[in-house]
Amino acid sequence: MLRGVLPIVPTPFHADGTVDGESFDRVIEYGIAAGAHGLVFPAIASEYFTLSDEERRSLSQRLVRRVAGRVPVVIGVSSPEPEVALGLAKQAEELGAQAVLMLVPAVFAKAPEEALAYIRSVSRAVGLPIMLQNAPAPLGADLPVDAVARICREIDQVRYVKEEGAPSGQR
């Protein structure tokens, strides 16, 4: 079970736009030293949408290796393409992540049934708990509360919600 503070690990970049792996390692160590109860990567704050699938895979692997079991790791598998999300979720499970983070992509903003099917497809392929991320546009679907509640009721693996819709406290 995840609990406590699980910050999003940002992706540091060099001036030329390439990923700065050494700074990535320092950010990981800082999070653990600061008392984080777990680490999450990649997510919106990690600028996952600017990373190639290979960069996401290699940095997720680097994170798990660097953490070395000291705190739980949640791997973001968000993608508007279900096959990509599925492949990233399988990799997260193979790496030993404790959960996956799934953003409901903006393409499902007007299609809660399709969002449910999308999340269900990943839940059936891996045994990890899912943290559902409900974020506003332009990246997220900003699903209404009843759609989020239905997803949580119908998919047992959805055990956490990262609600970002406004006002998130009431949601």
Q: Is 162 known to be catalytic? A: yes
Measure CA 93 to chain center. Answer: 13
Catalytic option among 29, 138, 162, 169: 162
**CB-CB contact of 134 with 148 (8 Å):** yes
Distance between CA atoms of 16 and 119, rounded to whole angstroms?
35
E strands, the chain, are 39-41, 73-76, 99-103, 130-134, 158-163
Q: What are the residues whose beta carbons fall under 8 Å from the beta carbon of 45, sequence distance 6 or more?
A: 8, 10
Q: How far is CA 69 from CA 49, 98, 164, 170, in A?
A: 27, 10, 28, 35
In whole angstroms, what is the distance from residue 58 CA to residue 21 CA?
Answer: 10
Give, to the nearest 10 degrees, the angle between helix 53-67 and helix 21-33: 40
Active site residues: 162
